Amino acid sequence: MNNSKLRNTCLVGIFVLLALAEPLITSRFYKFVLALAVINVIMVTGLHVIFGLTGQIFMGMAGFWGIGSYILALATTKMGLGFWPALLLSSLGVGFMGLVLGIPTLRLKGYYLSITTIGFGEITRFILMNWSAVTGGVFGVFNIPRPNFGSFVLTNDVHFYYFSLALAALLAVIASVLEDSKYGTAFKGVRDDELAADAIGIDSTGIKVMAFMTCGLFVGIGAGLYSSLLTYISPEVFTLEESFRFVTMVLVGGIGFLPGAVIGAVVLTFLPEMLRFLQAWYLAIYGLIVLGIVIYQPGGIAGALQGFLERRRLARGEEKQYGTA
């Protein structure tokens, strides 16, 4: 099984499972967490393009997420836009931020890029908190509308869930098509060896800027859905810790393997809620788990899966040999 076939099979399986999971979960709270998980899937699909495919450690996801959420919230509540134009605006707005933020990558690599994006995320949070005239400051924005089809409004959480899941699936398809295109090859080239990529004529800077922009377009949609799901947003959630949680989702899944990132997003949305009873210990343990993954299983879920398939193939091969002997 080649890589993109494995990816498609896994993706179809995961989305079917997510669709079946909704009626199986009975608790209202966990239904809500599941909806959040799907929104995180959308956003992590964006991060997958920058981090998973292009290998740039983007530590400003909370900034993208915050900007997208506020664009949809403000466009619908203050500018009187409908849900759809607002969602488009949120996607394009964050995509544009990606372009603006991507331009510094002309010069920046590795640590410089990460620290710059940390700075971007923190500055965004400061502005959302303190520019009260526009953002409502620490009080946040209320009464954000749900999506509508004509006069049919998705106030029902079940409807909203399947709507988000459909969007997530659509974006996963787009991301997969992109990955299999020549741009996907260029992304991976930059990730694996930037110098070599440059040497064979890939414009690595242009590719990175494009990756940032694509990420922004995706995250904008996820962030818009986030405001719409909650109908209320406030600035204190968009922290550096959240940015790192998104990076961890990709890492847990396996860098460069979209189904892995999707599983990572679901797992890391549920884990904090399920480990609530550990209270303060949770984040300390979470830090240790991430450390353990980086050191012992750097390939994440994808690495484990590939190792398993490889071993099975080897085992089969050996059986055949025994058979002929």
Partner 1 sequence: MQQIVAGLALGSIYGLVALGYNFIFNAVGIVNLAQGDFVMLGGYIYGGTLTLLLGLPFLPALLLTAIAMAIFGIVSQRIVYYPLRDAHPRMVMLSTIALGIFLKNISLIAWGTYPVSVSGLFGQRGLRIAGVSILYQYIFILVCVIILLAIQQYFFKKTTLGKSMRAVAQDRLAAMLMGIDAYKMIAITFAYSSTLAAIGGVLLAPVFMVSQVLANVGLKGFAACVIGGWGDITGAVIGGLVVGLVEVFSASYISSVYKDAIVFAILIGFLIFRPQGILGRATEVSL
Q: Which of 35, 49, 251, 301 binds partner 1 (CB under 8 A)?
A: 251
Binding of residue 307 to partner 1 (CB under 8 A): no
Report the residue from 280, 320, 322, 324 that binds partner 1 according to the rule CB under 8 A: 280
Among 84, 112, 149, 232, binds partner 1 (CB under 8 A): 112
The yes or no reply on residue 291 touching partner 1 (CB under 8 A) is yes
Under the binding rule (CB under 8 A), the answer on residue 163 touching partner 1 is: no
Q: Does 127 bind partner 1 (CB under 8 A)?
A: yes
Work out how close the CB of 12 gets to partner 1 at its nearest, in angstroms, rounded to a whole number.
30
Q: In the set 35, 36, 86, 118, which binds partner 1 (CB under 8 A)? A: 118
Q: Which one, of 141, 143, 122, lies nearest residue 70 by Cα? A: 141
* Residue pair 242/61 in contact by the 8 Å Cβ criterion: yes
Determine which residue in the list 114, 231, 239, 297 makes contact with partner 1, applying CB under 8 A: 114
Q: Is 72 strand, coil or helix?
A: helix
Reported as type and span, the H/E element at residue 149 is strand 148-149
The residues, any chain, with a CB within 8 Å of residue 204's CB and separated by 6 or more, are: 189, 190, 194, 197, 198
Q: What tokens appear for 272 in the block?
A: 């904090």
Please, what is the angle between helix 258-274 and helix 281-296, to 10°? 150
Chain centroid to Cα 282, Å, comes to 22
Sign of the alpha-carbon torsion through 203, 206, 212, 216: negative
Q: Does 99 bind partner 1 (CB under 8 A)?
A: no
Q: Judged by CB under 8 A, does residue 218 bind partner 1? A: no
> How many angstroms from the chain centroid is the CA of residue 62?
11
**Position 288 contacts partner 1 (CB under 8 A):** yes
What are the distances in angstroms from CA 177 to CA 173, 184, 316?
6, 8, 32
CA 180 – CA 177 distance, rounded (Å): 5
Q: Which of residues 39-58 bind partner 1 (CB under 8 A)?
A: 55, 57
CB atoms < 10 A from the CB of 81, how many?
18
Query: Of the candidates 65, 70, 120, 212, which one interacts with partner 1 according to CB under 8 A?
Result: 120
Q: Which stretch binds partner 1 (CB under 8 A): 64-72, 113-121, 158-166, 196-204?
A: 113-121
The nearer residue to partner 1, 177 or 199, going by C-beta atoms, is: 199
Which residue's CB is nearer to partner 1, number 29 or number 111? 111
The binder of partner 1 chosen from 35, 94, 122, 136 (CB under 8 A): 122
3-state secondary structure of 148: strand
210 binds partner 1, rule: CB under 8 A: no
Q: Which residues bind partner 1 (CB under 8 A)?
A: 55, 57, 104, 107-112, 114-116, 118-120, 122-123, 126-127, 130, 241, 244, 247, 251, 280-284, 286-288, 290-291, 294-295, 298
